[in-house]
Amino acid sequence: MPKFIWKGIKSGAYKEGTIEAKNEHEATYLIRKNHVIIYSVESLDKQKRTKNIFANLLPNEESEKNIKPKDVLVFTKKLATMVKAGLPVVDTISLLGEQMESKAFKKVLKQIHLDIESGNSVSVSFSKYNKLFGNIYVNLVKAGESSGKLDIFLAKLVVSLEKTAQIRANIKSALLYPVILLVVSLAVISIMLIYVVPIFVELFSSVGGELPALTQIIMSASDYVSDPMRGGVTFVAIVVALYALRKQIQTNYNLRKKYHSMLLKMPLVGDLIIKSGLSKIGMILGNLSAAGVPLIEALEIATTSTDNIPITEAMNNVKLGVFSGSPLSELFDKEKTIPSTFAQMTKVGEETGNMEEMFESISGYYQEELDNSVERLTAMLEPIMIVFMGGTIGFIIVAMYLPIFQMGQMVG
């Protein structure tokens, strides 16, 4: 008997599975008997044939990673504009696919175009590239299809992608300049220890006499850094240790959780992480509420928007608490990771009955708070790094010239 793959919603959550039936109509009937809201039913044999026919068109997972978020944003903007102008979605995707510079993205859009032409819905076609577009993207496209307002929800999607890009850019801008200063400082210090200090060492050895303690410290540091068997090995060991620690953090859940918790407790850095996470969560919940997505499912999708484990666990606790019938504001208020402001603003939305607008207000509030935190972090780190660089280089210069000053005093 033929097998069919189905996707849908059951008890407020996404479900998918396979079922045996004589044909697609019988499969649909049997699935609906199990109280499933069906999104798609497709023959397993048909899906296999489609995969075989278009296998050469599909980008591999590695090449799909090379598609930049900026490319997705540009594509979505053009798609929203052209759909609003009244062009058919299938023709628009085909046209935009030809305009993309990324070969991997061209292949993705070509396959999406073929899937839609073969009878799949737009959202189902996009969902095959969930790693590229994400749950939020697919769900807003699905909401636009079901409501007949695809252009409106594509516009919401563009705003969502732009805000996410802005959050990412804000965090990068806050860290970029201090990191550049740190790298330049370390480079200058290394050059002085390896090339400049040895010149003074030769000068002092020819003069003789006892050197000041500061000068001896810098000379010892120069000898250590210049020696490949000591300084070189130490440098390699530090790089290997940092790489191994990074791998451990990526693979070990408990270690990653401790690392994420430590980041949240750091001054200003913790603020950046929390405010950027809550801004995205508020934005996603607002968009999904407008799309009519059930609260449980909206919370699940919003949870995937952040990688920070303490925030993710807090959102999971809120999601589980919704099943008990507790108000959303109370559930947010119980979580220590989530600021009380978030819970209070959610409570206002519950009292007024307009959660969609309130979540948008929450997103805007934390976006503004994030911008302020970025400015404070930049204002704090820049002078610290400048003082560090100037102080360290000045210390080396003074230590090297100290014996010369002493010799001048003796001559005088």
In a domain, 60, yes or no: no
DSSP-assigned letter for residue 57: G
Domain co-membership, 178 together with 43: no
User: CB-side exposure of 402: number of CA atoms within 13 Å?
Assistant: 18
In a domain, 120, yes or no: no
DSSP codes, 201-257? HHHHHHH-SPPPHHHHHHHHHHHHHH-IIIIIHHHHHHHHHHHHHHHHHHH-HHHHH
How far lies 221's CA from each of 41, 143, 229, 395, in Å?
A: 70, 64, 14, 13
Average pLDDT of the chain to the nearest whole number: 80
State pLDDT tens for residues 156-165.
888 878 877 8
What is the identity of the amino acid at 193? L
Q: Give percent helix, percent strand, percent coil of the chain, each to the nearest 5.
A: 80, 5, 15
Last residue of a domain, one of 53, 77, 97: 53
The per-residue pLDDT for 183 is: 86
Q: Is 42 helix (H, G, I), strand (E, B) or coil?
A: strand
Last residue of a domain, one of 19, 38, 53: 53
In a domain, 305, yes or no: yes
| CATH value at residue 245 | 1.20.81.30
pTM of the model: 0.65
Q: Which residue has the higher pLDDT, 172 or 222?
A: 222
Domain co-membership, 238 together with 385: yes
Contacts of 283 (CB under 8 A, 6+ apart): 160, 163, 164, 359, 360, 363
In a domain, 278, yes or no: yes
How far apart are the C-alpha atoms of 120 and 55, rounded to whole Å?
A: 17
User: How many structural domains are present in the chain?
Assistant: 2
State pLDDT tens for residues 151-186.
888 888 888 788 778 777 877 777 777 788 888 888
| Range(s) of the domain holding residue 35 | 1-53
In a domain, 170, yes or no: yes
The per-residue pLDDT for 62 is: 43
In a domain, 98, yes or no: no
Kindly tell me if the per-residue pLDDT of 241 is higher than 90: yes
Contacts of 185 (CB under 8 A, 6+ apart): 385, 388, 389, 392, 393
Residue 207 dihedral angles phi and psi, to the nearest 5°: -80, -40
Segment 65-86 shows an average pLDDT of 84
Among residues 67, 74, 86, 85, the alpha carbon closest in space to that of 158 is found at 74
In a domain, 307, yes or no: yes
Angle formed at CA 142 by CA 84 and CA 342, multiple of 5 degrees: 100
Domain co-membership, 25 together with 170: no
Kindly tell me if the per-residue pLDDT of 290 is higher than 80: no
Q: Which residue has the higher pLDDT, 256 or 294?
A: 256
Q: Which residue has the higher pLDDT, 241 or 200?
A: 241
Among residues 380, 337, 346, the alpha carbon closest in space to that of 365 is found at 346
Domain co-membership, 49 together with 169: no
The per-residue pLDDT for 39 is: 60
How far apart are the C-alpha atoms of 304 and 285, rounded to whole Å?
A: 12
Kindly tell me if the per-residue pLDDT of 362 is higher than 50: yes
State pLDDT tens for residues 364-384.
888 888 888 877 877 777 788
How far apart are the C-alpha atoms of 315 and 277, rounded to whole Å?
A: 11
Last residue of a domain, one of 18, 34, 53: 53
The per-residue pLDDT for 14 is: 58
In a domain, 400, yes or no: yes
